[in-house]
Amino acid sequence: MNSKRARFFLAGFILFSIAAGAQAGGSAAAPAAPSASAASAPNAPSAATVPAASPTGTKLGTINIEQAIFATNEGQRDFEALSKKLEPKQNELKGLNDEVESLKKQLNTQGDKLNEEARTTLVKQIEQKQKSLDRSVQDARDDAQNQQNEIAQRILQKMAPLLVKYAGDNGFGIIMDTSNPWPNGPVLWAGPAVDITKPVVEAYNAQSGVPAPSPAATRPAASKPATTPATKPPTTAPAKPQGNQPK
């Protein structure tokens, strides 16, 4: 993902190690283990819980959880709605940023022509507006991140048991998340033959009953709102999830 765009919290968040082949009576719940990076993230929600299962399968599979969440019909719908909801705030921040940049340009072009008092006043004005902009950007980023997390966590909570069932039905003994590429993630390399992102997304869509977005309402990639870089005009372009893409 482009470093200038916001990373979604799920990158590196979930490492699924799921004992497949759930048998009758296995109704206990156990939390999926978050990665070390997730444990240190201040705003990361707790991992989804998945039903305990008796390990009967032997196959190893991978899933890009981040991509799966965004690829679901529900994810596309809700992240697109959030992106539109955040547009007024992004436009507001862009206006504030333009104002600061205009004052900086004025200082650069006219600073040597201003008397000491006028130049000092302009410098203080720039500093005050810059601090206000920085605070507004940080507040907007935190708010957007929290709302992104709420949507993703809601989908993940429903996807986790479905993933366990799929693994058990298809003989998988372990499934690992590839959202965060190696060396930041646990998977050095995995071929497309072991990736189950697409069938899990299809199963989720069938279970959720949410219809696929119409072509006019969707973006080229799975939509998610971008948060704003400090002191720069925000962008609404969706960030592309990393890792294996759905087949």
Helices (H) and strands (E) in the chain, counts: 5, 4
According to the model, what pLDDT value does residue 16 have? 29
Q: Give tens-digit pLDDT for 187-238.
A: 989 999 999 999 999 999 999 999 998 876 555 444 444 444 344 433 333 3
Q: Sorting pLDDT into bands at 50, 70 and 90, what band is 50?
A: low
Distance separating alpha carbons of residues 164 and 156, to the nearest angstrom: 12
Residue 18 pLDDT more than 90? no
Please determine, for residue 165, whether its predicted confidence score (pLDDT) is greater than 90.
Answer: yes
- Quote the pLDDT of residue 216: 63
Give the Cα separation of 167 and 175 in Å (integer). 8
What's residue 52's pLDDT? 53
How many CB atoms sit inside 10 A of residue 105's CB?
A: 10
In this prediction, residues 151-180 reach a mean pLDDT of 94
* Predicted pLDDT at 155: 97
Is the predicted pLDDT of residue 23 greater than 90, yes or no? no
* Model confidence at 167: pLDDT above 70: yes
Q: What is the pTM of this model?
A: 0.66
Distance CA 146, CA 62 (A): 27
Report, as an integer, the average pLDDT of 1-7.
34
Residue 139 has pLDDT above 70, yes or no: yes
Residue 158 pLDDT exceeds 50: yes
- For the residues 131-135, what does the mean pLDDT come to? 96
Query: What φ, ψ does residue 144 adopt, rounded to 5°?
Result: -65, -40
Please tell me the distance from the alpha carbon of residue 65 to that of residue 78, in angstroms, as a whole number.
17
pLDDT digit string (tens) for 225-246?
444 434 443 333 333 344 444 4
Q: Half-sphere exposure of residue 184, counting CA atoms within 13 Å on the CB side? A: 12
Note whether 24 and 56 are within 8 A (CB): no
CB 72 within 8 A of CB 163: no
Phi-psi region of 184 (alpha: psi -120 to 50; beta: other; left: phi over 0): alpha
Which three-class secondary structure state does DSSP give residue 229? coil
What is the reported pLDDT for 226? Answer: 44
Which residue(s) pair with 172 in the sheet? Answer: 59
pLDDT grade, residue 26 (50/70/90)?
A: very low
Supply the pLDDT for residue 37: 35
Q: In 41-115, where does DSSP find H-type helix?
A: 65-71, 73-110
| Confidence check: pLDDT of 70 > 50 | yes
pLDDT band for position 178 (50/70/90)? very high
Q: Are 195 and 84 in contact (CB under 8 A)?
A: no
SS3 content of the chain, % helix, strand, coil (to 5): 50, 10, 40
- DSSP structural state of residue 40: H
Phi, psi torsion values for 237, nearest 5 degrees: -65, 135
**SS3 of 117, please?**
helix
Please tell me the least confidently modeled range out of 96-105, 181-190, 218-227: 218-227
